[in-house]
Amino acid sequence: MDLQLGEPQETELNMTPMIDIVFQLIIFFLLSLKFKTIDRRIESMMPKDRGPNPAPSILEEEDKIKVKLFRRGIADRERAFTLLKIDNAAQYPLPKGWKGRLKETPDRIERYDATVAAVKRAIEDRIAAYGGITDQIVGEIVAPPPRGGSVPHGDAVAVLNAFMEAGITNVKFEGTPTPLTSSERAARAAR
Amino acid sequence: MAAKVITDTEDAKMNMTPMIDMTFLLVVFFMLTIDLSQKEFFPVDLPFATTGVEDKEEDDEVRRFVINLTGDGTVHFKSYEFNLASEDPGEQDDAIQALQDALRQVHSERGEILLREKDGASKVPVMIHADWGAKWKYVQWIMQACAHPDIKIYKLQFAVKKPPTEKGS
């Protein structure tokens, strides 16, 4: 019996499902695409021998420059401001009702920067008074309770930045107490 | 002159090859540019600082933890969410304890022994990615949670932005 071979047919690959998948992939990557938002960071190291549960160590006497941050006028958000004090002497009020650099007018931004620059100059004066060797000087950022804790993070970072611009990299933060003390926490747990 | 009528119609087919080529190129582009690590960052208004160092890729082994703090006092860490802004100090304390538990758990999942120095301090840095308007005490509570004796994370990074007035921005 002769083998009957039919006419050779053109076989075509069905591309539609593959294109569907590829388009779905594109949509997924498009939706998950997020451009890098952070470009910088400030590195810091917390002390192991300070804080609520310090590791034992010998505390040495150090030359200190202390910047205190107070929050004033908390009742009215439009009037609230941060007051910076250096070594309990000079006072530097930041603009009232500060809404953040992106939402502020150029003249108010200029005022904010001028105040922080004045703090930096005051820090530099203290450094000079200590002999000018920044390695041996410790900066301290203190936000005294109860209202110091309400200071915006951005203002504390501005002071930290002023210390670093002045050449002091050893900066400590005096901690705000936790909402409950350990005994209050234990009493609450026992209830 | 008589009009010529074409009666022999052929199947018109679109050549799909260039479109598929372009589509694959797009897929490759998006695959290469996608940065899934950015998913860790919550959208916040970062504070500005001139002294910040450029944020570069890190060693995978000691990949940092990112703790987000929004302006209203909510902490976002991995899939967890904690509210530090409660009126009740007891609830605030619970939120700090819960953050400590989450840090402890995530740290131990990453390999407790490998990520510790000889003195027990963690090698893992924590990035505090906080809104400029968040209360400073919340940032300090986060720091205290990190430095807890069971966790011992002392390396900190504050996420900041380059001031827009600076040259080159």
Largest Cα separation within chain A, whole Å, is 114
Fold of B65-158: Nucleotidyltransferase; domain 5 (3.30.420)
Cβ density class A123-152: b for 16+ within 10 Å, e for less = bbebbeeeeeebeebebbbbbeeebbbbbb
Query: Which pLDDT tens digit goes with each residue over A125-180?
Result: 999 988 888 888 889 899 888 788 889 999 999 999 999 999 998 888 886 788 88
Measure A89 CA to nearest chain B CA, in Å. 23
Domain extent listing, chain B: 65-158
- What CATH number has the domain bearing residue A119? 3.30.420
- CB-based contact A138:A170 (threshold 8 Å): yes
Task: Please give the C-alpha separations between residue A183 and each of A144, A186, A187, B138, in angstroms, as whole numbers.
Answer: 22, 5, 6, 21
Q: Identify whether A72 is part of a domain.
A: yes
Residue B168: per-residue pLDDT? 44
How many domains are there within chain A? 1
3-state secondary structure of B112: coil
Does B22 contact chain A (CB < 8 Å)? no
Residue B61 tokens read as: 């082994």
Residue B167: per-residue pLDDT? 46
Cβ–Cβ gap B144/A175 under 8 Å: yes
Residue A120: per-residue pLDDT? 94
Q: Identify whether A138 is part of a domain.
A: yes
Q: Which helix (H) or strand (E) holds A55?
A: none
Task: Please give the C-alpha separations between residue A71 and each of A14, A35, A121, A142, in angstroms, as whole numbers.
Answer: 69, 35, 22, 12
Q: Looking at this predicted complex, what is its ipTM?
A: 0.76
**Taking a contact as any Cβ pair under 8 Å apart, which residues of chain B between 40 and 99 contact chain A?**
41, 43, 45-55, 69, 89-90, 92-93, 96
Query: Which pLDDT tens digit goes with each residue over A65-123?
Result: 999 999 998 888 888 999 999 987 889 999 999 998 888 999 999 999 999 999 999 99
Residue A46: per-residue pLDDT? 75
Q: Identify whether A105 is part of a domain.
A: yes
Nearest neighbour of A38 by CB, restricted to B39, B50, B159: B159
pLDDT beneath 50, residues of chain B: 166-169
Give the helix ranges, DSSP H, for chain B.
Answer: 17-33, 89-109, 136-146
pLDDT higher than threshold 60 for residue A56: no
Q: Identify whether A58 is part of a domain.
A: no
